[in-house]
């Protein structure tokens, strides 16, 4: 008998599988396909203070072993998320969710964090300072240790929820930024967000995506994600939610061995909407194959 239970910032999850923000919406479409209560949790679509239509189309481009997206944080705004989406999630999921918030100023991050703090079914605040697809916010806050720390410190002042800061890989030294958000009070780190990428349409001789560049994700970035999680695990004491190219139960265990306490699965949801369900179902057999009885004990195993 194997144990897939993990503990994350005071929460007990049945397993470490968390669909990533922006790839699972608010769970409704997936709940029509399978019982999403099998998941450990899920990260809701990135929420901003005001409604956002997102970037102009086209905003998706396929790549070998991955995809590029530049959706641009399309969402109905925090008031509607709190009044409509979170109550609906409660009906179909019933477990705490991860609330991903974004902003274009320090004040917007604080506003969203304070609002989400009052929501009973929000278990973790995921502060996105790493979105490469918006201008004047997002990744701009995550590219220096100082700005990342300032957002973290401001958000921590207005919430009692655990705060996980979502870091960008598009920096010279992710370790220094991870250490800065830890020092500023972060309860955990989510990493990595997408790499910046682009495709060019040979017929039009122009970028495929209207935004020119977008976030590159999918199986091709797994080695990058593993290396960055491995490095950050050695540098901080707070838990890491690892993500980037995970698409199998074996990938989950590999990410946990690198240092992740839980994992998020993103692009794979857009290829196979059943992928998270299938990974949850496959975990016990894969654990047995590799002689693992308690999944939580895998975290950081490659360092020992």
pLDDT tens digits, residue range 33-65? 999 999 999 999 999 999 999 899 999 999 999
Q: Does 1 reside within a domain?
A: no
Given a cut of 80, is residue 130 above it in pLDDT?
A: no
Please give the average per-residue pLDDT across 143-159, as a whole number. Answer: 95
Distances (CA, A) of 206 to 66, 81, 212, 213: 20, 36, 8, 11
Local structure of 297: helix, strand or coil: helix
Q: What is the mean pLDDT of the chain?
A: 95
225-230 contact pairs (CB < 8 A, 24+): 225/169, 225/191, 225/192, 225/255, 226/254, 226/255, 226/258, 228/169, 228/174, 228/191, 228/192, 229/191, 229/192, 229/255, 229/258, 229/259, 229/260, 230/258, 230/259, 230/302, 230/303
Residue 213 burial (CB < 10 Å; 0-12/13-18/19+)?
Answer: middle
For the residues 142-170, what does the mean pLDDT come to? 95
Identify the pLDDT of residue 157. Answer: 98
pLDDT in tens, 222-253: 999 999 999 999 999 999 999 999 999 999 99
Residue 131 annotated in active site: yes
Pairing verdict, β 262-265 and 17-19: parallel
Domain membership of residue 197 (yes or no) is yes
What is residue 136's predicted lDDT score, i.e. its pLDDT?
Answer: 53
Mean pLDDT of 1-14: 97
In which band, very low, low, confident or very high, does the pLDDT at 139 lie, cut at 50, 70 and 90? low
Residue 180: domain span: 6-299
100 within a domain of the structure (yes/no): yes
**Which CATH number belongs to the domain containing residue 120 in this structure?**
3.20.20.70
Q: What is the number of structural domains in the chain?
A: 1
Q: Is pLDDT of 138 > 70?
A: no
Is the residue at 270 inside a domain? yes
pTM for the predicted model, two decimal places: 0.96
- In this prediction, what percent of the chain has a pLDDT beyond 70? 97
- CA neighbor of 131 nearest in space, from 180, 61, 69, 200: 69
Q: Which of 63, 112, 119, 131 is catalytic?
A: 131
């Amino acid at each position: 008998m194997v144990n897939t239970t993990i503990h994350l910032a005071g929460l007990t999850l049945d397993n470490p599988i968390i669909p990533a923000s922006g790839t699972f919406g608010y769970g409704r479409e997936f709940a029509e396909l399978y019982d999403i209560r099998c998941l450990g949790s899920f990260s809701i679509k990135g929420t901003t203070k005001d409604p956002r239509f997102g970037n102009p189309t086209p905003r998706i481009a396929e790549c070998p072993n991955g995809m590029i997206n530049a959706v641009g944080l399309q969402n109905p705004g925090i008031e509607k998320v709190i009044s409509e989406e979170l109550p609906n999630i409660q009906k179909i999921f019933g477990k705490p969710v991860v609330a991903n918030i974004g902003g274009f100023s320090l004040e917007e991050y604080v506003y969203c964090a304070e609002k989400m703090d009052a929501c009973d079914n929000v278990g973790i605040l995921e502060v996105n300072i790493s979105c490469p697809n918006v201008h004047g916010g997002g990744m701009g806050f995550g590219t220096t240790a100082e700005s990342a720390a300032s957002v973290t410190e401001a958000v921590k002042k207005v919430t009692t929820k655990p705060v996980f800061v979502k870091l960008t890989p598009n920096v010279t030294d992710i370790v220094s930024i991870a250490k800065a958000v830890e020092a500023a009070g972060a309860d955990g780190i989510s990493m990595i967000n997408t790499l910046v990428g682009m495709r060019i349409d040979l017929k039009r001789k122009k970028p495929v995506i209207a935004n020119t560049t977008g976030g590159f994700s999918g199986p091709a970035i797994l080695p990058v994600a593993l290396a960055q999680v491995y490095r950050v695990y050695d540098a901080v004491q707070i838990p890491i939610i690892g993500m980037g190219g995970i698409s199998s139960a074996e990938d989950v265990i590999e990410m946990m061995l690198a240092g992740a306490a839980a994992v998020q699965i993103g692009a794979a949801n857009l290829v196979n909407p059943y992928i998270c369900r299938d990974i949850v179902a496959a975990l016990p057999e894969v654990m047995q194959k590799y002689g693992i009885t308690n999944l939580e004990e895998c975290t950081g195993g490659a360092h020992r």
